[in-house]
Structure 1
Amino acid sequence: MHKPKASNNEWWRGGVIYQVYPRSFADSNGDGIGDLPGITARLEHIARLGADAIWLSPFFKSPQKDFGYDISDYCDVDPMYGTLDDFRALVRRAHELNLKVVIDQVLSHCSDQHPWFAESRSSRDNPKADWFVWADAKHDGTPPNNWLSVFGGSAWQWDTRRRQYYLHNFLTSQPDLNFHNPEVQDALLETVRFWLELGVDGYRMDAINFCYHDAQLRDNPGRGMPTVEDATAPSINPYSWQIHRHDKSQPEALGFLRRLRDLVDQYHDTTMVGEIGDEAGLAMVADYTRGSDKLHMAYCFDLLGSAHDAPYLHDLIERFQRIAGDGWACWAISNHDCMRVATRWGGGEPSPAQLRAAAALLLSLRGSVCIYQGEELGLPEADIAFEDLQDPYGITMWPEFKGRDGCRTPMPWSDQGPDLGFGSGQVKPWLPPAESHRALAVERQWAQPGSLLQHYSRLLHWRRGQKALVKGDMHLLPRHAQVLAHVREHHGQRVLCAFNLSGAPATLALPQGLAPAEVLHDSGADGARLDNGTLHFDPWGVMFARLG
């Protein structure tokens, strides 16, 4: 039954969402794998930090070939994580702490062990025969076209039952659902409704631009080995050698997003953030969020690569502002799929000042923000030995690309014990805790007034009171070789935000008429001063100032 549109207080607009990777957050039962009760027990850390919401990576029933991103039951909790009652308790405790709960939903594909796929592959004429993307072989037996899997090799897998190929954009055990079939959309929307009825406040939509494929199955054009960094795959992966014109990011997706928004809008104060993996990521963020009838917000991979200097970021923001209209971005510099930002931007020995500047920059941008667990601690990428790898992507692409395990190691809660407070200390965790994380543990940093964790918390709590930073417009100052500077403005409140994104001192002469009335020292910013209309920065210096 269709419900009327509910009210929405737009808590998400400018909100800060803390991403929890359940396998690695906290292990309550000592089996070496994080779980829902473990998350519930640690929610106070996230509330104390100053986040507005948590985003839970998948915890649904799954054979765990891709650690939950291969779902075999959309409406139940995998026993390794707990029960539905454990989930209800987590939501209840989060709401007591004024934290919203956003869950990760994977709609473009599921597990090959899902009952839908078991039925679909059983014959060519069963009721779910067209629920997945099936195609005949070419005359010589080869796959229908040249599409590639993100995880390596052809995107087509031969099935002996139907004597056809099925599409899998990721692992062969993750068959793609056929969104050209309205019954598939209806079934998936009902799974979305299930968790909304349980009280979730929103969704992170995994790989949402992969939902539709070109119905004609046309070949993708090639481009050869890329000469610049590709946002969606490393250059050693042939996936990055194609222009993905036909296997994803199809225009029909916008119609499904409107159906999805219509459903989510039936529940009070809900939101959706979409993950977009595409060469044209910024443009698609704009397309998928404009008009208030699709996603509320979305993010792409432009801040999840190695590029981060002032000219790059200036051009990126300028380009998005030019095309966004009323679209809304959700910015992130780390997540469970990429190298941790401390290593990716900071190298082998990241400067604490650089990490503080990165945090301040992220929280100054127009849009919402995602923070990945451990980012607030400055955790570097863990070095995982080949024999300890779990990620199938890394195992396939070793040694030039080690996969995603290095950013997924257990959260260091304590500097004591072999598992750093992650579990009981009696069972080896699913990934080895990183010794380099011991000195950065949560308990130690909460006890250190000058720690990065304390800096994040101070910045987050201060930002909540600055409506210009949460919801305001954004005006870039001219491009500079070292300094990124912009002004955020909301209902007469104007805040200058300036960041030296280099390891050398810098100066910035402010344009005429842009005289700061007050340097906001209580923001936690540091390493910058104002002198006769010119800003002077130490390496990685940051300034927030109120404008008259």
Structure 2
Amino acid sequence: MTDEWWRGSVTYQVYPRSFQDSNGDGIGDLAGITQRLHHVAGLGVDAVWLSPVFRSPMADMGYDVSDYTDIDPLFGSLADFDALVARAHELGLKVIIDQVLSHSSDQHPFFVESRKGRDNPKSDWYVWADARPDGTPPNNWSSVFGGSAWEWDGHRKQYYLHNFLTSQPDFNFHNTEVQDWLLETMRFWLERGVDGFRLDTVNFYFHDAKLRNNPARKGEAQVNPYEMQLHKFSKTRPENLDFLARMRSLTDEYGAAMVGEVGDSTRAVEIMAEYTAGETRLHQAYSFDMLGPEFSPRHFRTRIERFFRDAPDGWPCWAFSNHDVIRHLTRWEEYGADQDALAKLCAAMLLSFPGSVCLYQGEELGQTETELEFHELTDPPGIRFWPDYKGRDGCRTPMVWDGNGNTSGGFSEATPWLPVKPPQLARNVSAQEESSSSVLHFYRRILAFRAAQPALRGREVAKFYRRPDPVLMFQRGGLICVFNLGPEPVTTRLPPGEAQALTGPHQAAELARRDLSLGPNGFAFVQTGE
């Protein structure tokens, strides 16, 4: 790995509550993650990303931080964190931690002080605004989790901004003291040896200081009215870029890297490109554009082409699943010949895209979304919008290590915080270790193939070839990557070239001169003479 270790890297996301419980309380912890790091390293990835483990009342499962420089006792201690970092580095893994900078918990001491009045040292560390004359909020901004983005505080007699839960007040980034302090909390973890940050809601930092109303978004009514606005003034403000530059300067001191989560449903790829252009902003960014229901050659092609058109020197990070969305094998199940075939196709496709890649725990087992009943939910938006939106708990259920009659799948000796259902229990690590044709073994093979192909990890931008659906075809260097995104067999013609031959992992593929036959969800990598 070079100094730009992040470029072309593959990161494995761990959801700490659900990876491994080491103390028998039914909740995963840092010591448990450390015990299982050999599994992550054995896949052949470059880094591990930990979702938040800071002190928190857990109203939003750790994305409501009450202490930015300590570990929540639920997960262990700073000593446990240091041990995890040390073990990861022994195994050759970089460590990336989640940073939730746009907002804190309402139990954070700074917010407790801020809400006491308008004349204390922290009074403008959060976003406060007077009510309109009729007592209603200052503008029409809405919360991602439903309802107004403003909450009334009777003591201070003002509204405060919260883009998420009412217990997650937004920091006021127009105050440079806030910026300075947050940067120092990042430095704290860099000094402890972390190699980078995943930045939650990176485009939410600044708000419009004039508090102008967001315009309406054309279309039908939505389950969540948040999607009925264009969030022109409540997020993605131009001032964000200067703060990204300050973060870049800090992380470059340590050779660390940042990957930002861009939350926007209308122009996410455009923002990704803007936020990674040049050498003074984010190292990488990802959006939800590949975390939705769309599954077509055109969708993947246009997302990638647009990014590199808008930011030829920028760098994307692509993912198909994470802790916020329905697992991709469930989202896209109608396109699969069977679960294993679809899982292998998706892995091969994702790991050949130009840019970096993030994998989500359990993905390497071909896991699907867990079907939960209402009484089993913990996720606030799922509870609020049930049954039209079932929340994020279904993708957060525990990692399944074995299927030997333990209803937690080897995750815990106690009842786990979220249930492990039979469909997930059946896809466990132990069983897949015993089968060379398993999804787990395939992930290891395709990751090894990617690591051995400079064209797949470098800056080589994909050259796409237009083929009838459901074929996606592109070339990177001397490698042509071809994927059948459908459950029926297809035959397609390769572009002219020299010495074409199948190479690396493939599935249901046969090559006869320039004619490539692909079975259901088949794919192939073809080496040319270049």
TM-score strictly above 0.5? yes
Aligned to 2:321: 334
Aligned to 1:230: none
Match of 1:205 in 2: 199
Give yes or no for contact 1:151–1:393 (8 Å, CA) kept in 2. Answer: yes
Query: 1:226: Cα distance to partner?
Result: 4.5
- Partner residue of 1:236? 223
Structure 2 residue corresponding to 1:153, chosen from 147, 150, 155: 147
1:496 is aligned to 2:480: yes
- Answer yes or no: is the 8 Å Cα contact 1:311–1:480 preserved in 2: no
Instruction: Give 1:111's aligned residue.
Output: 105
- What is the rounded CA distance, in whole Å, between the counterparts of 1:76 and 1:369 in structure 2? 29
Q: Which residue of 2 aligns with 1:506?
A: 490
Which residues of structure 2 form unaligned runs of 5+?
none
For the residues of structure 1 that align with 2:303 and 2:59, how far apart are their CA atoms?
35
Residues in 1 aligned to 2:62 and 2:188: alpha-carbon distance in whole angstroms: 18
Give the match's secondary structure for 1:42.
Answer: helix
Deviations 1:78-114 (A, max 9, x none): 0000000000000000000000000000000010000
Within-5 A mapping of 1:388-399: 388-399=376-387
Amino acid at match of 1:30: G
The 1-side partners of 2:167 and 2:235 are apart by: 19
Aligned residue number for residue 412 of structure 2: 423
Take 2:245 and 2:195, find their aligned partners in 1: how far apart are those partners? 18
The CA distance in 1 between the partners of 2:423 and 2:335, in whole Å, is: 11
Contact 1:148 1:169 in 2 (8 A): yes
Residue 275 (str. 1) matches residue 286 (str. 2): no
Please give the alpha-carbon distance, in whole angstroms, between the structure 2 residues aligned to 1:202 and 1:8. Answer: 15
Kept in 2: contact 1:14–1:470 (CA 8 A)? yes
Report the residue type matching 1:300 in the other structure. Answer: S
Instruction: Name 1:36's counterpart in structure 2.
Output: 30
1:320, distance to aligned residue in structure 2 (A) = 2.0
Q: Which residue of 1 aligns with 2:9?
A: 15
Q: Tell me whether 162-171 or 235-244 shows the greater mean CA deviation.
A: 235-244
Alpha-carbon offset, residue 507 of structure 1: 2.0
Q: Report if the CA contact (8 A) 2:16-2:29 is conserved.
A: yes
Structure 1 Cα separation of the partners of residues 335 and 110 of structure 2: 46
Counterpart of 1:122, as a letter, is K
TM alignment of 1:479-490, pairs within 5 A: 479-489=467-477
How far residue 224 of structure 1 moved from its aligned partner, in angstroms, is 4.7
Residue 532 to residue 359, structure 1, CA distance change in 2 (3 Å) = same
Contact preservation (8 Å) 1:225, 1:238: no
**Which residue of structure 2 lines up, in the alignment, with residue 3 of structure 1?**
none
Alpha-carbon distance between aligned partners in 2 of 1:126 and 1:304, rounded to the nearest angstrom: 43
2:423 matched to which residue of 1?
436
- For structure 1, which runs of at least 5 residues remain unmatched after alignment? 1-6, 228-234
Rounded to whole Å, the distance in 1 between the matches of 2:488 and 2:298 is 15
- In 1, the alpha carbon distance for the partners of 2:440 and 2:263 equals 30
Q: Which stretch of the first structure deviates more once superposed, 499-508 or 49-58?
A: 499-508
Q: Does 1:183 align with 2:177?
A: yes
Look up the match of 1:532: 513
Given that residues 201 and 262 in structure 2 are in contact (C-alpha distance below 8 angstroms), is that contact kept between their aligned partners in structure 1? yes
> How do residues 279-428 of structure 1 correspond to structure 2 at under 5 angstroms?
279-347=266-334, 350-416=338-404, 417-424=406-413, 427-428=414-415
- Counterpart CA distance in 1 for 2:467 and 2:191 is 48
| Paired residues for 1:161-180 under 5 Å | 161-180=155-174
What's the offset of the Cα at 1:198? 0.1
What RMSD over aligned residues (CA atoms) do the two structures have, in Å?
A: 1.4
Q: What letter is aligned with 2:174?
A: H
State the match for 2:212 in structure 1: 218
Q: Which SS does the other structure have where 2:253 is aligned?
A: coil
CA distance in structure 2 between the aligned counterparts of 1:220 and 1:8, rounded to whole angstroms:
44
Q: In structure 2, do the counterparts of structure 1 residues 322 and 348 end up closer, same or farther at CA, with 3 Å as the change threshold?
A: closer
Q: How has the CA–CA distance of structure 1 residues 212 and 33 changed in structure 2, closer, same or farther, with 3 Å as cutoff? A: same
Shift of 1:208: 0.5
Q: SS in structure 1 opposite 2:507?
A: coil
CA distance in 1, matches of 2:350, 2:220: 28
> Is the counterpart of residue 262 in structure 1 residue 252 in structure 2?
no
Q: Which amino acid aligns with 1:316?
A: R
Structure-to-structure mapping, 1:44-193, within 5 angstroms: 44-193=38-187
Q: Is contact 2:270-2:310 (8 Å) kept? A: yes
When the two structures are aligned, how many residues end up with a matched partner? 525
Distance in 2, matches of 1:191 and 1:149, equals: 26
Does structure 2 conserve the Cα–Cα contact (< 8 Å) formed by 1:226 and 1:240?
Answer: no
Give the counterpart letter for 1:453 in structure 2.
L
Per-residue CA deviations over 1:113-139 (Å, capped at 9, x if unaligned) read: 001101111100111111000000000
1:259 match: secondary structure: helix
**What corresponds to 1:4 in structure 2?**
none
1:24-79 Cα deviation digits (max 9, x unpaired): 00000000100000000000000111111000000000000000000000000000
- Mean CA deviation greater in 274-283 or 341-350: 341-350
Give the Cα separation in 2 of the matches to 1:226 and 1:407. Answer: 28
User: How far off is 1:503 after superposition?
Assistant: 1.0
